Amino acid sequence: MITTLSEALAAGYVRGDMKYQRGYVSRRADIGKSPVHVAGGRRKGELYVLLPSWRSSIYCMRQYLYKKEGKK
């Protein structure tokens, strides 16, 4: 089970789309230790992490993770 961004990247996932999401993530937090979440709704089942936004303190960035092709 993948629990952090560092584990996901080591398992062969790559960073994909980024979207703004209302919420705050500390800019001092270690990004590699960001927990991985599973999306619901239209993107059900896709993995994502929440990253800090340097442009706003009201919004954070939701970055989706995709499995790199050819690596298992």
- Beta strands at 59-67 and 13-22: parallel, antiparallel or unpaired: antiparallel
What pLDDT score was predicted for residue 41?
Answer: 96
Mean pLDDT of 41-52: 97
State whether residue 29 is helix, strand or coil. coil
Give the list of residues 6+ apart from residue 4 with CB closer than 8 angstroms, or none: 32, 33, 34, 35, 36
| pLDDT-above-70 percentage for the chain | 96
State whether residue 54 is helix, strand or coil. coil
- Choice between 66 and 69, residue whose per-residue pLDDT is larger: 66
Mean pLDDT of 10-33: 96
pTM for the whole thing? 0.89
Q: Which amino acid is at 65?
A: L
Matching residue, tokens 């993995």: 47
